[in-house]
Amino acid sequence: MADIQIDKQLCDGCGDCVKACPMEIFLLKEEKATAINVETCMDCELCEVGCPNLAIKVTG
Ligand code: SF4
Ligand code: SF4
């Protein structure tokens, strides 16, 4: 299963990951990205590539 790390210091709440993820794993909470239902992640890395602040790391 993929592990999704979000660096909350780098995240500015732009919402690009929410739009990029085909599995709807991201939501914004208090203007920071949060990952839910991580077990449905397909490891496509669209979120990591699409984050303008390099705040997301997908491993696994
Ligand atoms: S794309 Fe990056 S900066 Fe934008 S909300 Fe997601 S984690 Fe935060
Ligand atoms: S790797 Fe793909 S499926 Fe997994 S959280 Fe990122 S965009 Fe969503």
Segment 32-52 shows an average pLDDT of 97
60 has a pLDDT exceeding 90: no
- Whose alpha carbon is nearest atom 8 of ligand 1? 11
Structure tokens at 52: 């303008």
pTM for this model (two decimals): 0.95
Q: How far is the CA of 4 from the centre of ligand 1 (A)?
A: 12
- Over residues 10-38, the pLDDT tens digits come to 999 999 999 999 999 999 999 999 999 99
Q: Could you give the domains of the chain?
A: 3-59 (3.30.70.20)
Segment 45-49 shows an average pLDDT of 98
Query: CB of 45 closer than 6 A to ligand 1?
Result: no
- Whose alpha carbon is nearest atom 3 of ligand 1? 11
Nearest ligand atom owner, CA of 52: 1
User: Do β-strands 3-6 and 26-29 pair in parallel, antiparallel, or remain unpaired?
Assistant: unpaired
Report the chain's mean pLDDT, rounded to a whole number: 97
